[in-house]
Structure 1
Amino acid sequence: MMTTTNKPNTAFWIIAVLALLWNLMGLFQFFGVAFMLEAMVEALPEDQATLYTSIPQWYIIVFGIAVFSGVLACITMLIRKKITVVLFLISLLAVLVAQIYWIFATDVMDVIGPTAIAMPLIVIAIAIFLYFYSKGAAQKGWLR
C-alpha cells in the first residue's frame, strides 16, 4: 500500500463539512427520539404514534452509537486522523443494524407505506460512502 503525504483536495474538505452537517442532523434526530419521543408523536395518527413509541430501547442505543460515532468520525476527519476510518466503520455497522431492523422488523411498510424506506436507504448509502471515502483518504495519506 502506497502512502503519500499529499494534502487533501478541496473535495475532501467539502465532503468532510457536509458529512459533519449530515451527522449533526442525525444527532438532533437521536436526541428527539431518545428524549422527546412522546412530544414528537402527539400530532401523528395513532398507528404511526404506536409504531414510533414501540421502538425497543436497544434500537435507540444503536441509533446513538451510529450518530455519535458518525459525528466523531467527521471531527477526526476534519483534523485528519486515521481513527476516522474505524469510527465510520462503527457508524456504518450501527446504521445497518438500526435501518435493517426499521425496514424489516417493524410495521413501517404497512403503517406508512413504501416511501418510509427511502430515508433509511439514503442513510445506509451515505454511511457506506463515508466509510469507503475515509478508507481512500487514509490510503492517500490524507489521514495521519
Structure 2
Amino acid sequence: MPFHYGIFYLEGQHVPALLPNFVVSKAHDMMPAENREENMSETVENVTGSDSRPSTPWHLWVVGIIATLWNSGGALDYTMTQTRNTSYMSSFTQEQLDYFYAFPAWADAAWALGVWGAFIGSLLLLLRSRYAIIAFGLSLLGLLGSSIYQMTTDMPASLSTPGIWIFTVVIWLSIILLIWYARMMTTKGVLR
C-alpha cells in the first residue's frame, strides 16, 4: 500500500504524518475545490519554512577539517599498527613492537573505538549531522579504555615519557572539545 508523507492540517495545527494514499486522496476530495489550491500552497510553504536550518558558520568548516585531519592521523596509526606495516613500524624498537602486538583484544577494541569514533565524528560534523555527538562520545569511551590499559600495564620506559603523556592529554582535550562543539552546534540547529 503506497504511503504519503506530508504536513496535514489537523485541529488548527499543521502536523507531519505518514498516511496511506487513499486517506490523503479522500481528504483532498472532500475539501471544497476553491480551498484545495490555497491549502496546498500553505502546506508546501509550511514544509519548506519549518525545515530550514541556520546557515553553516565558517568555524564549522575550520573545526571539521582540522578535526578530520587530526583524527585521520590516529586512524592511520591504528591501521598501520594492526596490519603490522613494516615500513611504518620500522621506526619502533623491538621492545615497543612487542608491547603493541601484545595488546589484549579489549584494548585493541577500545583503541579502534577511540580512533574510528573520532574520525567518523569529524566527518559527521562536516556533514552537519547531530550523530557526530554520538560518534565523539563513543570515541571518548574508547579513549578511556585505552588510557586504562596504558596506566595498568608494564609499558616500556621509551613509551612512558613526558612527551607521550602530554600527547595523551592533548588527545583527551581534543575529544572533549569536539563533544562540546558538536553539542553547541546541535543546540543552535546547525547539526541535525
Same fold (TM over 0.5): yes
Of the two, which has the highest radius of gyration?
2
Task: Select the residue among 100, 107, 110 that pairs with 2:154.
Answer: 107
3-state DSSP of counterpart to 1:64: helix
More helix per residue: 1
Output aligned runs, 1:45-56, within 5 Å: 45-56=93-104
With structure 2 as the length reference, what TM-score do the two structures score?
0.64
3-state DSSP of counterpart to 1:108: coil
- CA drift of 1:101 comes to 2.0
**Is 1:89 the counterpart of 2:122 in the alignment?**
no
Number of equivalent positions: 140
More strand per residue: 2
With structure 1 as the length reference, what TM-score do the two structures score?
0.83
User: In structure 2, what residue type is equivalent to 1:33?
Assistant: T
* Aligned CA-pair RMSD: 2.3
**Structure-1 separation of matches of 2:74 and 2:169:** 14
Q: Point out where structure 1 has 5 or more consecutive residues left out of the alignment.
A: none
1:43–1:71 CA distance, 2 compared to 1 (3 A) = closer
Indicate the larger mover: 22-31 or 59-68: 59-68
- Higher relative CO (Cα under 8 Å, sequence separation at least 6) belongs to 1
Partner of 1:124: 172
3-state DSSP of counterpart to 1:116: helix
1:139–1:24 CA distance, 2 compared to 1 (3 A) = same
Q: Point out where structure 2 has 5 or more consecutive residues left out of the alignment.
A: 1-51
1:13–1:43 CA distance, 2 compared to 1 (3 A) = closer
**Is 1:70 the counterpart of 2:110 in the alignment?**
no
